[in-house]
């Protein structure tokens, strides 16, 4: 029983990271109906930005407190990733917004390749490790729970609550929901559609950057290919939970994290990805809109 609960804790931690990335996918899709396949690489860029901040801090300031270092890493990573995603939206996506649906998808894949190769050229192809930032481990009823796992789960809960409040209770959230329902009508009613879409890209990138920092803290290593697999799994989480739903994105992330963790614990690790996508297929067969998704209504 202790082993099972231990895997649940591990799965919730991994799923929290997937959930934070998945929110970015689901927000962009909800606003403009586009899958930003470069979002996984924004997550990777956030991890590298946090790594650079850590290296600079430890090089110039001896004995910097861990809390301050982690806070600076998160802030700088959020700023860097937000700037990248804002630039991508302005340069690569906005000019294609009115074109046929396949053009933005192809552009998003192209931007993913550009970002991945940019980091490979500038940072090198090898793994970039860092020493453990947080190493405390607590024994709770014979279950080993590390402080970094607690931090990741708490940050995910805080961010989900904050973003839910922003989307549902603020003028920005009303503008986002109006843009989601009908962009032309929202513009006629005074909503700055371009600004709303740009802010949505910035918000998604900031969350991905936090996830990248947490990923770096949890695993202690980052490499230029890290944007692909976590990005695909986070997109899967968004679809599983119901793309367009913020709680659905986090729920999907938690489910995928738990599936991976439990499968790896009790079966061969080689097939954990097969198990994840099999569950996705089964759910979509019986509920095509995802667990918490709403069926899409055609406008006439």
The tens digit of pLDDT for each residue in 254-298 reads 999 998 888 888 887 877 878 888 888 888 888 888 888 766 655
**Residue pLDDT, tens place only, 183-234:** 888 888 888 998 999 999 999 999 999 999 999 999 999 999 888 888 888 8
Cα 49 versus chain centre, distance: 15
Name the nearest CA neighbour of 94 among 198, 189, 214.
Answer: 198
CATH number of the structural domain spanning residue 127:
1.10.3470
Residue 266 resides in a domain: yes
On the question of pLDDT at 51 being above 70, the answer is yes
Q: Helices 66-88 & 193-219, crossing angle to 10 degrees?
A: 140
Tokens of 123: 């940072």
* Mean pLDDT, range 124-152, rounded to an integer: 86
Residue 270 resides in a domain: yes
Q: How many domains does the chain have?
A: 1
* Mean pLDDT, range 125-135, rounded to an integer: 86
Query: Is the pLDDT higher at 116 or at 272?
Result: 116
Range of the domain at 196: 2-286
On the question of pLDDT at 68 being above 60, the answer is yes
On the question of pLDDT at 79 being above 90, the answer is yes
pLDDT at 168: 86
pLDDT at 298: 52
On the question of pLDDT at 44 being above 80, the answer is yes
Residue 298 resides in a domain: no
On the question of pLDDT at 28 being above 70, the answer is yes
Residue 237 resides in a domain: yes
Residue 293 resides in a domain: no
Residue 300 resides in a domain: no
Residue 295 resides in a domain: no
pLDDT at 215: 92
Mean residue pLDDT across the chain:
87
pLDDT at 297: 55
Categorize the per-residue pLDDT at 16 as very low, low, confident or very high, splitting at 50, 70 and 90: very high
pLDDT at 49: 94
pLDDT at 87: 92
On the question of pLDDT at 98 being above 90, the answer is no
Query: Is the pLDDT higher at 50 or at 137?
Result: 50
Residue 195 resides in a domain: yes
Buried b (16+ CB within 10 A) or exposed e, 273-300: bebbeebbeebeeeeebbbbbeeeeeee
pLDDT at 12: 92
pLDDT at 84: 93
Find out whether 116 and 227 touch, Cβ atoms under 8 Å.
Answer: yes
């Amino acid at each position: 029983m202790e082993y099972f609960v231990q895997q649940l804790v591990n799965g919730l931690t991994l799923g929290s990271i997937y959930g934070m990335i998945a929110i970015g996918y689901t927000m962009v899709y909800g606003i403009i109906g586009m899958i930003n396949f470069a979002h996984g690489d924004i997550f990777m860029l956030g991890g590298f930005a946090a790594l650079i901040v850590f290296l600079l801090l430890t090089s110039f300031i001896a004995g910097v407190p861990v809390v301050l270092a982690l806070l600076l890493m998160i802030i700088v990573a959020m700023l860097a990733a937000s700037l990248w995603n804002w630039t991508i939206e302005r340069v690569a996506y906005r000019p294609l917004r009115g074109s046929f649906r396949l053009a933005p998808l192809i552009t998003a894949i192209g931007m993913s390749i550009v970002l991945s190769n940019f980091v490979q050229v500038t940072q090198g192809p090898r793994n970039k490790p860092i020493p453990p930032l947080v190493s405390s481990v607590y024994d709770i009823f014979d279950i080993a729970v590390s402080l970094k796992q607690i931090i990741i789960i708490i940050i995910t809960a805080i961010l989900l609550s904050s973003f839910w409040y922003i989307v549902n209770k603020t003028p920005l959230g009303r503008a986002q929901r109006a843009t989601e329902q009908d962009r032309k009508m929202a513009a006629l009613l005074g909503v700055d559609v371009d600004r709303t879409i740009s802010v949505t890209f910035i918000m998604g990138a900031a969350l991905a950057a936090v996830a990248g920092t947490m990923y770096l803290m949890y695993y202690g290593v980052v490499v230029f290919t890290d944007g692909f697999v976590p990005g695909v799994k986070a997109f899967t989480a968004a679809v599983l939970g119901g793309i367009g739903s913020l709680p659905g994105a986090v729920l999907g992330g938690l489910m995928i994290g738990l599936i991976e963790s439990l499968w790896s614990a009790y079966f061969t690790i080689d097939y954990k990805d097969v198990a994840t996508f099999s569950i996705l297929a089964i759910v979509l067969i019986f509920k095509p809109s995802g667990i918490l998704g709403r069926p899409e209504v055609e406008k006439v």
